[in-house]
Amino acid sequence: MVPAGLVVAALVVAAAWWWGRRTRTDGVAVAHSGRLTELPRYRFLARRHRRLLVAVSAASLVLVLAVTMLAARPVRSQRTVPEVTSRDIMLCLDVSGSMVEYNRSVLEQFGRLLEDFDGERVGLTIFNASAVTVFPLTTDYQFITSEFANFRATFEARGIDTLAGTLEGDGSSLVPDGIASCALSFPDQDEERSRSLVVATDNQVEGVTLTQMPEVIDLMRKRAVRVYAIYPLFAFESRERAETVEMRALANDSGGAFFAIDNTRATEWIVERIDRSEATRLKTEATLVRFAEPSVWLAVAALAAAAVVGLAWRARQ
């Protein structure tokens, strides 16, 4: 753009000069004009006029150059290495019959959790007699939101079309096995990664499990997973029930927390605690970023235009 603009400007100047010579009329002969041109005042005014014309020409050239640069859209390139947070949050949902009435509320709370995340990886695992990973850890929040909407619609219709694969076992609501499966969904190659498990269950186990809750607590401790348990209100208030004691012990031992489903501030507290957890900054592949920088040439063009107007006005005096 710059060479092309200068060529166009040169052609315009040449055309103006040629047209001026073609249309110039002959002057009128005046006798003894030398006496006028020898006057000091005349010479001063002539020199000032020539200087003003040179200044107008220079300012016009700068204006043309600045406009040409603006048309070329100047940019600045910078090599950057983006960083992402290393927090992983796995949502673990008990889809047994005793939790059907609560799952819609749980998913709404999960959705509110999602609104406060920025860069964290989120995954969802559901379990009953067996566990199924609905989607692995991902930062595609639009996809996650659509999956939550599908599940809410399913629970509203009391259907099981999205729960395929959760009945491949003996019994129902095998909570220790389900939570253990959720914990194993975290990648283990990076020990510095912050891991949080948000689990919703009433812990009413019916059947024989492969693992016991003390083993699950030990697994969470070894894999450094914080557990945030969301519990049905009727079970939450029964503090002496063995199931309630187990879930509270799981959450507290891992450094997490224990909440009731009907607690409207549960999601807010969970997000605050997850935000306080230490997150490692991971560097991704370097990228070349280009930034538009028209401000300098825009200022030059404005100053040059003002100079042309001012000098031309002075030259006419």
H-type alpha helices, 140-198:
141-156, 175-183
> Is 83-283 a CATH 3.40.190.10 domain?
no
* Residue 166 scores a pLDDT above 90: no
* Residue 200 scores a pLDDT above 70: yes
Closest-CA residue to 101 (of 234, 259, 296): 234
Q: Find the helix packing angle between 175-183 and 213-222, rounded to 10°.
A: 10
Mean pLDDT over the full length of the chain: 78
Q: Which residue has the higher pLDDT, 160 or 177?
A: 177
d(CA 303, CA 301): 6
pLDDT digits over 132-154, tens only? Answer: 888 898 888 888 888 888 877 77
Across residues 85-114, what is the average pLDDT?
Answer: 77
- pLDDT for res 26: 65
Closest-CA residue to 171 (of 246, 98, 244, 245): 98
d(CA 69, CA 86): 43
Q: Which residue has the higher pLDDT, 39 or 114?
A: 39
d(CA 93, CA 96): 9
CA-derived radius of gyration, the chain: 38
List the single range of 17-26, 92-101, 233-242 with lowest mean pLDDT: 233-242
Maximum CA pair distance of the chain?
A: 126
DSSP strand pairing (287-292 vs 83-85): unpaired
Across residues 281-302, what is the average pLDDT?
Answer: 75
d(CA 296, CA 44): 37
CA separation, residue 56 to residues 63, 69, 199, 305, 314 (Å): 10, 20, 76, 10, 10
Band of pLDDT at residue 181, cut at 50, 70 and 90: very high
Three-state secondary-structure class, residue 193: coil
* Residue 180 scores a pLDDT above 90: yes
Band of pLDDT at residue 234, cut at 50, 70 and 90: low
d(CA 36, CA 32): 8
Q: Kindly state the tokens that stand for 276.
A: 């306080």
Band of pLDDT at residue 179, cut at 50, 70 and 90: very high
Closest-CA residue to 113 (of 237, 293, 275): 275
Q: Find the helix packing angle between 2-23 and 40-71, rounded to 10°.
A: 140
Across residues 281-292, what is the average pLDDT?
Answer: 68
CB 119 within 8 A of CB 139: yes
CB 90 within 8 A of CB 136: no
Q: What region does 125 belong to: left with phi over 0, alpha with psi -120 to 50, or beta?
A: beta
CB 56 within 8 A of CB 312: yes
- pLDDT for res 267: 65
Tokens 């076992």, residue located: 169
Tokens 């300012």, residue located: 59
pLDDT digits over 215-230, tens only? Answer: 999 999 888 899 998 8
HEC assignment per residue over 244-313: HHHHHHHHHHCCCEEEECCCCCHHHHHHHHHHHCCCCEEECCCEEEEEECCHHHHHHHHHHHHHHHHHHH
Q: Kindly state the tokens that stand for 229.
A: 């348990």
Q: Which residue has the higher pLDDT, 167 or 182?
A: 182
Across residues 71-76, what is the average pLDDT?
Answer: 80
Q: Which residue has the higher pLDDT, 108 or 303?
A: 303
